[in-house]
Amino acid sequence: MRKFLFSAILSCSLLLASGAFAADRPNFVVIFCDDLGYGDLSTFGHPTIRTPNLDALAAEGQKWTSFYVAACVCTPSRAGLLTGRLPIRNGMCSDRRRVLFPDSSGGLPATEITISSALKDLGYRTAAVGKWHLGHLPEFLPTSHGFESYFGIPYSNDMNRVKRDVSQILLAEQEDFAAYDVPLMRDEEIVERPADQRTITKRYTEEAVAKIREFGDEPFFIYLAHSLPHIPLFRDESFKGRSTAGFYGDVIEEIDWSVGMITETLEEAGIAEDTLVIFTSDNGPWLTFDSHGGTAGMLRDGKGSTWEGGMRVPTVVSWPGTVKPGIVHEMGSTLDLLPTFVSLAGGALPDDRVYDGHDLSSFLRGETGDSPRRTMFFYHGEQLYAVRQGMHKAHFLTKTSYVGQKAPEKHEPPLLFHLGIDPGEQWNIAEEHPGVVASLRELVDEHTAGVERIPSRLPGRIGE
């Protein structure tokens, strides 16, 4: 019923829009990497990985230096991006099982409104390419959440591991793709198993390029979610040994090639100036895998933590002729994509649920000088660990790295950092600023009081 009402609202918005306005609605392309660190691109400071296409995209568009994801691991982060809601609100997080697995019975609830379902109701063509990780059963796949088509691996590329020795992940070379019995799907059907991951970035790119050409002059949304650089690492033969930064560098440089193919196709089709492209990552780098895990640069820690390195991600925004080129230090989040896209498409969000995203459309157009996002809440599973408002960030709980620390450490008083002066979160200034701590504590209390939790959709196993 909720989805029906929302569809009606969006349809009315579309009909009320003038023909000229409808023609001006932009296309949207989201390129979403898996476990890419804040410091893994040359435009974000990596000294040996070459990313010329992303460098050019950032130079001609915007490089966002304070862009956050909704969670520090895959499944909840993706749920936040597609719904504009913190995962605690839709059950896509858990303190028991952090992500969905091949034996999971749950997935993104049908009651959730996604970017794809919202834009589809506004007359957009939609396609999902790559990693999904929001439920592999038919009722949870992209085609059940507003995407016309899907081509990709439904969960992480290291799942269904045939060889149990973790060293196989660290030593994975191209011939080892059969060690991971992951399916490659087209829509609801498995077309290859195990997926040959040696060519997975190339094939995802070819699919996205084909969709851009297929959609032509119709407004569209393409969600290209790369399976890499999540371990195990794979790259096409043509990229083997290309990077000075070794295997991991080869993987990133192939992703950069992919970005170049997408932008080149948009230009050839004459729609580059009609298309908003956002490149980002689902969380920070998986540091426990050494040279296969990337880097968060000067930020602290990585994937699985609510330190900056776990949830602040490298982000590039391109919309030629509309976004003003430059470096953006204002805050933004993947949570902001749904309200921003719906606004730019001429729609309106329903008032039957709470959204955690902000509409950035006026800021992107340069009509306002400040981003509407002033606050970011940092969840680890079902618990709120930290909050940032302005330049101050308070940690009430911390858990370092993806593995190793069994239980979170509680901080009373909370740790406090000034992220302008100390983005690496090294110098706790809580004692010097009790007023700031009190203000942030009050902010957290107000937020948590307004969160209506639903049972987690992650712990259940098929057959239970």
* Residue 429 sits in the same domain as residue 362: no
Which residues lie below 8 Å from residue 4, measured CB to CB, with a gap of 6+? none
Count other C-beta atoms under 10 Å from residue 412's C-beta.
5
* Boundary (domain end) residue, out of 308, 341, 374: 374
In a domain, 277, yes or no: yes
Percentages helix, strand, coil for the chain (3-state, rounded to 5) are 35, 20, 45
Same domain, 87 and 200: yes
Q: Please say which residue of 345, 374, 403 terminates a domain.
A: 374
Query: What is the spatial order of strands in the sheet that 409-418 belongs to?
Result: 375-380, 383-389, 392-398, 409-418
Tell me if residue 72 is catalytic. no
Query: What angle (nearest 5°) sits at the alpha carbon of residue 330, between those of residues 325 and 334?
Result: 90
Structural domain range at position 425:
376-449
459 domain residue, yes or no? no
Q: Does residue 392 sit in the same domain as residue 289?
A: no
- Is 457 among the domain residues? no
Instruction: Please report, in tens digits, the pLDDT of each residue of the chain (464 residues total).
Output: 444 444 444 444 443 333 333 458 999 999 999 999 999 999 999 999 999 999 999 999 999 999 999 999 999 999 999 999 999 999 999 999 999 999 999 999 999 999 999 999 999 999 999 999 999 999 999 999 999 999 999 999 999 988 766 666 666 565 678 889 999 999 999 999 999 999 999 999 999 999 999 999 999 999 999 999 999 999 999 999 999 999 999 999 999 999 999 999 999 999 999 999 999 999 999 998 888 999 999 999 999 999 999 999 999 999 999 999 999 999 999 999 999 999 999 999 999 999 999 999 999 999 999 999 999 999 999 999 999 999 999 999 999 877 766 789 999 999 999 999 999 999 999 999 999 999 999 999 999 999 999 999 999 998 87
Can you point out the beta strands (E) in 34-132?
Answer: 62-68, 125-130
Cα gap 370→152, rounded to integer Å: 37
Cis peptide before 232 (omega within 30 of 0): yes
In the prediction, which pLDDT does 11 show? 46
Task: Name the catalytic one among 33, 72, 74, 93.
Answer: 74
Tell me which of 318, 341, 374 is where a domain ends: 374
Query: In terms of Cα–Cα distance, which of 386, 453, 445, 463 is closest to 93?
Result: 453
Residues 370 and 395 in one domain: no
In a domain, 254, yes or no: yes
Please answer whether residues 390 and 443 qualify as being in contact, where contact means their C-beta atoms are separated by less than 8 angstroms. no
> 330 and 414: one domain?
no
pTM for the full predicted model: 0.94
Q: Is residue 191 part of a domain?
A: yes
74 is catalytic: yes
Asked if 440 and 387 touch (Cβ cutoff 8 Å), the reply is yes
For residue 431, what is the domain's CATH number? 3.30.1120.10
Catalytic residue, candidates 46, 133, 145, 292: 133
Question: Is the domain of 368 the same as that of 409?
Answer: no
Q: Are residues 318 and 441 in the same domain?
A: no
Write phi, then psi, for 140 (nearest 5 degrees).
-115, -5
For residues 201 and 258, the answer to whether their CB atoms sit within 8 Å is yes
| Tally of domains in the chain | 2
User: Is residue 146 domain-shared with residue 286, that is, in the same domain?
Assistant: yes
What are the DSSP E strand ranges found in 146-193?
A: 149-152, 184-186, 189-192
Q: Which CATH number covers residue 8?
A: 3.40.720.10
Query: Are residue 104 and residue 57 in the same domain, yes or no?
Result: yes
Asked whether residue 391 falls in the same domain as residue 425, the answer is: yes
149: β partners = 127
Same domain (yes/no): 168, 25: yes
Measure Cα distances from 104 to 15, 138, 155, 231 in Å: 41, 13, 11, 21
Is residue 461 in some structural domain? no
Same domain, 344 and 387: no
